[in-house]
Amino acid sequence: MLDIAVIEDPAAAEASLDPVRTRILHELSHPGSATQIAVKVGLPRQKVNYHLKALERHGLVELVEERRKGNVTERVLQASAASYLISPQALSSVSPDPHRFSDRFSAFWLLALAGRMVQEVGRLIAGAAAARQKLATFAIDGEITFRTAADRAAFAEELGVAVTRLVDKYHDGGAGASGGRRHRLVVALHPVLKATTLKTTKETPESPEIPTAKEQDND
């Protein structure tokens, strides 16, 4: 079982988004039969079998073993991954294209870059798993509090300069570059969602701390 599987096929994405099938996938984090899952989700076994066949057809669940019980063969299944992400490739005709525009201050470009990362890393994970090789990646995740918008802008500027200096130092752009392996580098900075004790709904979504007009003027 993979830790995370990235879904690229539109039909598989559609199958995974069904609420009942999402619940079944959750219950199949550990191997189980249709009878066992039916008890957990409160549905007839025949109905669960229908959903299991659809999930198995799209590679979202896999057969673990078959057990003989009297005249019946019981199939034990398990989710193919502990978690799933739907790749922008599933909406290829309308997915964001990072090459269409390039604005380092655009939240929309940031989303386009994030979508591309999901797509590319998902394919790399699948390829590494098939080749039984380890995938070399690196990530940093943290939080920083800025006193003012001006401090935030200064930090972003210094970070850009530092990253550019490192790229210039280690990037092999000469004649010998053909033997190297290209890597993707993405650096992102965005506000953190507000912590709230209220239940998040479509009517009351979590929202980031939006800079005031005065703060925006200081950028």
Q: Tell me the per-residue pLDDT of 34-44, one tens digit each, with 9 for 90 and over.
A: 999 999 999 99
Q: Is residue 102 domain-shared with residue 164, that is, in the same domain?
A: no
Q: Who's near 134: CB < 8 A, 6+ residues apart?
A: 128
Of 23, 155, 148, 7, which Cα lies nearest the Cα of 89? Answer: 7
Q: Do 23 and 78 reside in the same domain of the chain?
A: yes
**Position 42 in a domain:** yes
Question: Is 117 among the domain residues?
Answer: yes
Query: Could you write out the DSSP letters of every residue in 82-144?
Result: EEEEE-GGGGTTTS--GGG---TT-HHHHHHHHHHHHHHHHHHHHHHHHHT------------
| Average pLDDT value for residue range 14-39 | 93
CB atoms within 10 A of CB 114: 16
Computed over every residue of the chain, the mean pLDDT equals 85
CA distance 97 to 95: 6
Q: Would the pLDDT of 21 be above 90? A: yes
Range of the domain at 163: 138-172+182-210
Q: Is the pTM of this model over 0.75?
A: no
> How many helices and strands (H and E) does the chain possess?
7, 5
Task: Tell me the pLDDT band of 209, cut-offs 50, 70 and 90.
Answer: low
Q: Judge if 116 and 149 occupy the same domain.
A: no
C-alpha–C-alpha distance, residues 35 and 75, integer Å? 10
Structure tokens at 197: 């004790």
Task: Looking at the structure, tell me whether residues 75 and 33 fall in a common domain.
Answer: yes
Q: Give residue-wise pLDDT tens across range 57-88.
A: 999 999 999 888 778 888 999 999 999 989 88
Residue 167 maps to a domain: yes
Number of domains in the chain: 3
Shared-domain flag, residues 6 and 80: yes
> Does residue 215 sit within a domain?
no
Q: Is the pLDDT of residue 212 over 60?
A: no
What is the model's pLDDT at position 160?
Answer: 93
Q: pLDDT band at 158, cuts 50/70/90?
A: very high
Do both 126 and 147 map to the same domain? Answer: no
Q: What is the pLDDT of residue 203?
A: 47
Smallest CA-to-CA distance from 54 within 88, 85, 20, 84 is with 20
Q: Any idea what the CATH number is for the domain that residue 7 is in?
A: 1.10.10.10
| Of 62, 40, 39, 67, nearest in space to 52 by CA | 62
Tell which of 50, 85, 120 closes a domain: 85
> Is 177 inside a domain boundary?
no
**pLDDT for 121 beyond 60:** yes
Alpha carbons 125 and 217: distance in angstroms, whole number:
43
Please return the burial class of 25, using the count of CB atoms within 10 Å of its CB with bins 0-12, 13-18 and 19+.
Answer: buried
Measured CA to CA, the distance from residue 193 to residue 195 in angstroms comes to: 6
Instruction: For residues 99 and 37, state if they share a domain.
Output: no
The pLDDT of residue 48 is: 94
User: Are 47 and 24 found together in one domain?
Assistant: yes
Using DSSP bridges, classify how beta strands 2-7 and 81-86 pair: parallel, antiparallel or unpaired.
parallel
Residue at 218 is within a domain: no
**DSSP label of 42:** T
